[in-house]
Structure 1
Amino acid sequence: MLRRLSLALAVAAASNGLAWADTAPLTAKTDLVSVYQEAVRNNADLAAARADYEATKEIVPQARSGLLPQINGGANLTDTRTDVETSVGDPSLSRSGTVYQATLSQPIFRADRWFQLKAAKEVDEQAALQLSATEQNLILQSAQTYFAVLRAQDTLASTKAEEAAFKRQLDQANERFDVGLSDKTDVLEAQAGYDTARANRILAQRAVDDAFQALTTLTNRDYNALEGIKHSLPVLAPSPNDAKAWVDTAAQQNLNLLASNHAVDAAEETLRQRKAGHAPTLDAVAQYQKGDNDALGFTNSDANPGVRYNGDVEQRSIGLQLNIPIYSGGLISSQAREAYARLNQSEQQRESLRRQVVQNTRDLHRAVNTDVETVSARKQSIISNQSALEATEVGYQVGTRNIVDVLDAQRQLYSSVRNYNDARYDYILDNLRLKQVAGTLSPADLEALARYLKPDYNPDRDFLPPDLTAASEAQIRNTRAQ
């Protein structure tokens, strides 16, 4: 009876026949939503973005303060000694005094400060949207890091199965050589294939460890295992399947694009502020002073022989202060030219971002549609390669094929397995990227994916579609019937 190598047998060998295989069931598995929640709580980049926003939004009260009353208080202590040369000698006069004062200033017309406040509000709106974009990006980043682990685990599982298959082929080649059914070349070819598969498995194990480390960096938590994605996840075209509709949505909701609109508005208000530097300013000023009569200038002198000032003096004043800028060395004009250039810069940056958003939206829309077809084609490729491998093995047993053909067929089979799993994860992530660029990505998208997670997922068993063997056998029967 001919022995047929199927993926099911290879998986069983990978799980049970190799000393390095870890068959212990995975426990304490974490799901996608939990990883995202941990990232929200512990991600350092998000915390830094929030702190940056808290600092940036203070620009509004700082700008508003320039339009509100300003109250200053102070004191002045002086001690003056005067030497006077006269015909009768050089007498010295010494005077000292303390003055307390308070000044209230209320801007009445300050066009530059008004435009500065409007610019600050635009910057605040821009910063809020940029923070929202960072929070939205964390959703995608959580999914990317999570599925990077699953991808690496599935790749490891397929390389373990491939190693087991090549080990079995090596054992078979040795058996055939021992009984004289093949030469030493077959053994050497099988040994080379097994050694390569073993090296690939070692690299795949490192990729799993690296993926888990990236997850720890994202969330500041260590994980032992994750829930895997079911093969029953619907692979559907984007809805609506209209690139223009997605572009229109992105133009209205893309957070970075909305933030760039506020950046342009802020630059426009800053330009108005700089131009207003040529405008006059008007302030209401009230002042109160109390102090020694000498310190305030009320002195006893021969000029006023009938008036004598003794003790403290109080002085109150209120009035309007008008300032008309005439020439400031070209400073205001230079600042206006700088602001105009900055406005032009922000407009060009917005246009560049808009074009990039349009391109990314269309590219991702095409990518998702391509992924839908690719997943189906990759799955069929596994079935076809499995059938081809079994047929090649039969040919090898009867002498119409050599061991190189068998090894090549095995490589094609496991390459198609990895391509299939890559296509699945590409489909998931491209969907999320499309929603992000359109500005619609939310935690609800992760919750929708979490419904297709498998709590008892075992990569060594579940990296293959469950209906694969039946589909392969059906294809073989159809081929024979033809």
Structure 2
Amino acid sequence: MKIKILIFLIFFFVAQQSFAQQNLTISDVFSLALKKAEKIRIAEENITISKEGKYKALAGLLPTLTAFGKYTDYYNEKIVNNQIIQPDKSMLWGVTLEEKLSLGGKEFINYAISGQNLTKTEFDVTSFKEQYLLRVAQDLYGYLIAKRAVEIAESNVERLKKHRDAAKIRLKVGEVTKTDLLRAEAELSGAEAELIAAKNNLKVAKAVLARDAGIEGDFEIIENKLRDPYLNLTVDHVKALAKELRPEIRAASISKDIAKKNVDYAIGSFFPYLSLSATYQKLDQSPSNQMTNKESKYAIASINFPIFEGGLRRAEVSEAKAKLRQAELQYEDTVKEVFIDVESAYHNYITFRDTIKSLEDEVAFARDNFNSVFKQYQFGLASSLDVTDANTFLVTAERKLMEAQYNYQLAILRLRQSTGTLLKAFRDNEIVAQETDK
């Protein structure tokens, strides 16, 4: 009996821990996304594929060792003048070491390209991870905005309930008409409908965040103030940072170098191929005689030079040069696209950062204004319409401030992504502001 109770308690404790609410910071959410998101794991497989491509290119440089064997069972043996022309059966086996290289160095060029392609893939994966982390950040702040929208809607409902109750009291004493009460109840009904919609939006935002970040079970987000490294930087400083660190630009630069090497690789087809091989073989046959060569060792060196192949090599060189021009243009286009991206992110960041103080003042004014108008309404110095207008002004101001505050935090992460520093800042634990930064 005691054992059953103990097992039940252990099971209850484990189940309670499994369903307990998780409190996650933005760093926790990013960690989960990098570990569990299927899209990131799919992208990381590209690095494995590129590594195997490098091994394949290395295989083209190394000699091949081949073992061979052949067993022959003849219909009958043939002997002429006591010499075996055809034995009854024979077995031949041996090994061959062979190396085939282009005198134009194509194999070495291909190996160098495979190494650069691996580096380019790593930059591509870094770029994808940063874009995905930004997507997760958008989901996270979308969830926080939805959560705050529910709180604003609940406060709005509470204020309008007080207004409705005040209208009932004044109607009873004959200070207002029933129109005032009906208007107050209509405003309250509208606010309650908005609250229901806000709660449903919160559920959707939470589900989207959990899906993209790979969060399992119930959770809550702990809000942290983000470190802002761009307070004293101009747009030109941010552009210079992006040109140096943005993985898309670095990948495009490597693509340009790869295209140059591909031209050299195509030109290498005009050079002859050198083949070297060494073979050891052994022959066993029955019947056998002294004239049978039972063991052989030999080496072969040959050069092959294609004279005419229908213009294939010239076409390959022209194609490689065209792809080089494409890569150079693609690099210039990538730099321009990144600069546009940086300018957009920077100006959005400035907009949200510099408007927060004004919006805070607007909210403070709207709250004081509503409190004043509501008191005036209680004493018959303001109309129901005045209260409704003051409340609408307050709700609008609160929503604008809330969105600006969260969009400012998101704009910092957007700037980090546009400069190619988001993933590094996360890994170096520089996303969230430390106590010394506050």
TM norm. shorter chain > 0.5: yes
- The question of 1:285 aligning with 2:269 is answered no
Aligned residue in 1 for 2:432? 448
What is the Cα deviation at residue 258 of structure 1? Answer: 0.8
Aligned residue in 2 for 1:104? 97
Aligned residue in 2 for 1:242? 234
Q: Deviations over 1:314-350 (max 9, x none)?
A: 2222121211122233433333343333333333332
What is the Cα deviation at residue 312 of structure 1? Answer: 5.5
- The question of 1:333 aligning with 2:321 is answered no
Aligned residue in 2 for 1:205? 199
Aligned counterparts, 1:223-238, within 5 A: 223-229=218-224, 238=230
Cα separation, 1, equivalents of 2:138 and 2:436: 16
Cα separation, 2, equivalents of 1:338 and 1:77: 48
Aligned residue in 2 for 1:7? none
Cα separation, 2, equivalents of 1:407 and 1:283: 91
Cα separation, 2, equivalents of 1:198 and 1:352: 51
Aligned residue in 2 for 1:475? none
- The question of 1:58 aligning with 2:32 is answered no
Cα separation, 2, equivalents of 1:379 and 1:103: 82
- The question of 1:165 aligning with 2:162 is answered no
> What one-letter code is carried by the residue in structure 2 that aligns with 1:106?
E
Cα separation, 2, equivalents of 1:110 and 1:102: 28
Is 1:31–1:450's contact at 8 Å kept on the other side of the alignment? no
Aligned residue in 2 for 1:412? 393
Is 1:378–1:420's contact at 8 Å kept on the other side of the alignment? yes
Aligned counterparts, 1:26-105, within 5 A: 29-79=23-73, 96-105=89-98
CA 1:348–1:191 in structure 2 vs 1: closer, same or farther (change >3 Å)?
A: farther
Is 1:76–1:100's contact at 8 Å kept on the other side of the alignment? yes
Aligned residue in 1 for 2:146? 152
CA 1:133–1:451 in structure 2 vs 1: closer, same or farther (change >3 Å)?
A: farther
2:300 alignment partner, one of 319, 323, 340: 319
1:275 alignment partner, one of 267, 272, 278: 267
What is the Cα deviation at residue 445 of structure 1? Answer: 5.7
Moved more, 105-114 or 370-379: 105-114
Cα separation, 2, equivalents of 1:220 and 1:309: 80
Cα separation, 2, equivalents of 1:175 and 1:335: 90
What is the Cα deviation at residue 446 of structure 1? Answer: 5.2
What is the Cα deviation at residue 137 of structure 1? Answer: 4.2
1:258 alignment partner, one of 239, 250, 274: 250
> What one-letter code is carried by the residue in structure 2 that aligns with 1:107?
K
Cα separation, 2, equivalents of 1:357 and 1:349: 12
CA 1:78–1:185 in structure 2 vs 1: closer, same or farther (change >3 Å)?
A: farther
Aligned residue in 1 for 2:371? 390
Is 1:293–1:310's contact at 8 Å kept on the other side of the alignment? no
CA 1:199–1:312 in structure 2 vs 1: closer, same or farther (change >3 Å)?
A: farther
CA 1:179–1:335 in structure 2 vs 1: closer, same or farther (change >3 Å)?
A: farther
Q: Which blocks of at least 5 consecutive residues in structure 1 are unaligned? A: 1-25, 85-92, 301-307, 455-482
> What one-letter code is carried by the residue in structure 1 that aligns with 2:333?
S
TM-score (norm 2): 0.82
Q: Deviations over 1:237-290 (max 9, x none)?
A: 824321111111111111221112112212222232123222211122212222
Cα separation, 2, equivalents of 1:180 and 1:348: 79
Cα separation, 1, equivalents of 2:435 and 2:130: 21
> What one-letter code is carried by the residue in structure 2 that aligns with 1:103?
T
Cα separation, 2, equivalents of 1:105 and 1:265: 32
Is 2:87–2:285's contact at 8 Å kept on the other side of the alignment? no
> Is the partner of 1:329 in helix, strand or coil?
coil
Is 1:140–1:433's contact at 8 Å kept on the other side of the alignment? yes
Q: How many residues align?
A: 408
Aligned residue in 1 for 2:14? none
Q: Deviations over 1:345-401 (max 9, x none)?
A: 333332222111111222222222221211111111101222332343355446564
Cα separation, 2, equivalents of 1:439 and 1:330: 45
Aligned residue in 2 for 1:346? 327
Is 1:32–1:450's contact at 8 Å kept on the other side of the alignment? no
What is the Cα deviation at residue 128 of structure 1? Answer: 1.7
CA 1:416–1:56 in structure 2 vs 1: closer, same or farther (change >3 Å)?
A: same
What is the Cα deviation at residue 173 of structure 1? Answer: 2.4
Q: Which blocks of at least 5 consecutive residues in structure 2 are unaligned? A: 1-19, 79-85
Is 2:356–2:405's contact at 8 Å kept on the other side of the alignment? yes
Is 2:25–2:224's contact at 8 Å kept on the other side of the alignment? no
CA 1:209–1:450 in structure 2 vs 1: closer, same or farther (change >3 Å)?
A: farther
Q: Deviations over 1:181-236 (max 9, x none)?
A: 22232223222222221121112112222222233221332333222347xx88x7
Q: Deviations over 1:43-78 (max 9, x none)?
A: 322222222211212211211111111111112234
Is 1:30–1:223's contact at 8 Å kept on the other side of the alignment? no
